[in-house]
Chain A
Amino acid sequence: AQSVTQLGSHVSVSEGALVLLRCNYSSSVPPYLFWYVQYPNQGLQLLLKYTSAATLVKGINGFEAEFKKSETSFHLTKPSAHMSDAAEYFCAVTPSGTYKYIFGTGTRLKVLA
C-alpha cells in the first residue's frame, strides 16, 4: 500500500533560517505529490504540487520542493523563514490511477523570533 512519511512532527527554526520539512513516499511508480499548509483554524491550502513536468517545483510564499526519485523524497524548503510561516504542513500523494490523497501525519512548524 502507498504511504507517506513526514519525519518530525514538530520543527522549530529561527526567523531568517532555512526551512526544511521532510517527506518520503513509498511507490514503485512515481506518483503525484502535493504540499499543503494549514494555518490555525483554517482549511488546507495548496503550496505546490509535482506532476512530473519538472523535478524542482516552486510554490507560493517562497516555498519549493524537489522530487528525487532515487530517494523517494519530496522535501519542502524555504531559504528564509518568516514568522507568518508558522503553521502545519502536510505532504500528500496520489498514486497513479487514483483520485485519493494519502496524507502524511503533518509537521508543525514553529518560527522563533
Chain B
Amino acid sequence: DAGVIQSPRHEVTEMGQEVTLRCKPISGHNSLFWYRQTMMRGLELLIYFNNNVPIDDSGMPEDRFSAKMPNASFSTLKIQPSEPRDSAVYFCASSLGDREADTQYFGPGTRLTVL
C-alpha cells in the first residue's frame, strides 16, 4: 500500500526561480495538508484542503506561495519567486477525514535549498 508520495525529494534552485513541489495523497483520503519544517520555526501548517477545496490557507507565508489541488490524487505547492529564506523541508500529509481524531500520514518530504 503506497503512502504519501512527494517529488522531488531534493530541490536546489537559485533565488528568483519558480519552484513547484508535488504530492500524491493516499488513495481514498479526503484531507491534504502542506507543512514546512525549519530549525527555527519547527513544523508549520501552510494550507489544508478538504475534498480538493482549500479550507485554511492562513499559514501560507505570503503571496509568493500558492497551492492547488486539481483532483483527489494530486496537489502542488508553488513558490514564485523563491527566496533563500524559503529553504526548508516541505511535507505533504493526508488523512481519511477532517475529524480531530484522524491520523495524518506524512510523505518523505522535499528538501528545498534556495541559493
Contacts and interface: CB of A to CB of B under 8 A. Distances in A.
A101 B45 contact: yes
Interface residues on chain A, size class: 20 to 34
Interface string B84-106: 00000001010100111111111
A61 interface: no
Given A43-B106, A43-B107, A90 B43 contact: yes
Given A96-B100, A99-B99, A43 B91 contact: yes
Contacts of B70: none
Interface of A: 31-32, 34, 36, 41-46, 49, 51, 90, 94-101, 103, 105-106
Given A99-B99, A103-B42, A46 B109 contact: no
B98 A99 contact: yes
Contact of B91 (A34, A44, A94, A105): A44
Given A43-B91, A90-B43, A105-B42, A49 B106 contact: no
Interface of B: 4, 31, 42-43, 45, 48, 56, 91, 93, 95, 98-109, 111
Contacts of B91: 43-44
Nearest to A98: B100
Contact of A99 (B4, B100, B107, B108): B100
11 contacts: A41-B109, A41-B111, A43-B4, A43-B93, A43-B109, A49-B103, A90-B43, A94-B100, A97-B100, A98-B100, A99-B100
Nearest to A97: B100
B42 A106 contact: yes
Contacts of B4: 43
A103 B4 CA distance: 20
